Each structure stands twice: as C-alpha cells, then as structure tokens.
Amino acid sequence: MIETILLAVGSGDGDRFEELTQQAIDIAKPTGATVVLAHVISADEYEDEVQSYHDAIDRMGLDLEQGGVPPESLAQETEPVGEIAEELEAAGVDVEIRGIVGDQADEIVSLADEVDADNVIVGGRRRSPTGKAVFGSTAQQVMLNAPCPVTYVRQGTA
C-alpha cells in the first residue's frame, strides 16, 4: 500500500512541473497517500536565497531580525514548489513541504528513508552516457540509492 510519496523538486524543474504534479496526483489520489514535496538546495544557493529574502524585506521597509530563514519557508516561495503544492491540494491530495539544505541526491535519499516513502518521484533531463559520467546525475544517484521504488519523469521532447 502506498501511504507516502516523496516528490523531489529542484529549481530546474520549472519546465516539467506539470508532468511531475500529474504523476504525483496519479499515484497519490487513488491510494490516499500524502505527498512530501521536497526542495533541496545547496548551501550556496541557500545563502543567496536568504540574502535575496532579506533584501526584499529591506526594500519593503520592514524591520525584521537578520536571523536565519528556515529552508521550508524558502521552499514554499520557490517556483515551482508553491505551484505544485497548490495543484496537489486542489486535486484533494495531502501535501507536506520540506526544504532542505545540502547535496540533492544525498538529502533526497535520506528524506525518503526518514519519511518512510513508498515511492520517490524525480525529474530529469536527457543526457548522454558521457554527460552522466562526467557531470553525474542527481536522478540517477537517487534511483540507485533510494530505499523504495523511484518514478523518473523525463523532460519532454517538445
């Protein structure tokens, strides 16, 4: 029985968020599963996002503490995470958003284990075998190391 689906979404998934969302709905809705929508960013990206957040607060003239911004807060505001969450909720699917700072593949696999995921959904681009060997592939690493089946949503050819 499928109870928990981990949908891993990166900042590069904007061009395929509809396919990722539909895949999650197709699996979650009939089973009543909860979708854990995860956005993993590198430490450098996180620092850039926090700085942008604080710059926006300053421009609005608000006086907030210059503390850390929880990764979940950034994830909810990151495209396409917010859009995917809205579409999942509109389809009647329970959603939990997680924001994580770290290595994408490692953190996705760890989170899949932590939430006891029954399925992981990841997106990816077409890459040559040489491209994968030279640059690595987050989706490939997740498929090889996840504690459960992985659904791979490939970037469309259109």
pLDDT digits (tens, 9 = 90+) for 42-90: 777 767 666 666 666 566 665 555 455 555 555 555 668 888 999 999 9
Q: What is the mean pLDDT of the chain?
A: 81
pLDDT digits (tens, 9 = 90+) for 92-118: 999 999 988 888 899 999 999 999 999
At 55 the pLDDT is 66
Q: 30 or 140: which carries more pLDDT confidence?
A: 30
Whether 132 shows a pLDDT value over 70: the answer reads no
pTM over 0.85: no
At 102 the pLDDT is 87
At 154 the pLDDT is 79
Instruction: State the SS3 of the chain.
Output: CCCEEEEECCHHHHHHHHHHHHHHHHHHHHHCCEEEEEEEECHHHHHHHHHHHHHHHHHCCCCCCCCCCCHHHHHHHCCCHHHHHHHHHHCCCCEEEEEEECCHHHHHHHHHHHCCCCEEEEEECCCCHHHHHHHCCHHHHHHHHCCCCEEEEECCCC
Q: How many CB atoms lie within 10 A of CB 77?
A: 15
Q: With pLDDT > 90 as the criterion, what percentage of the chain qualifies?
A: 44
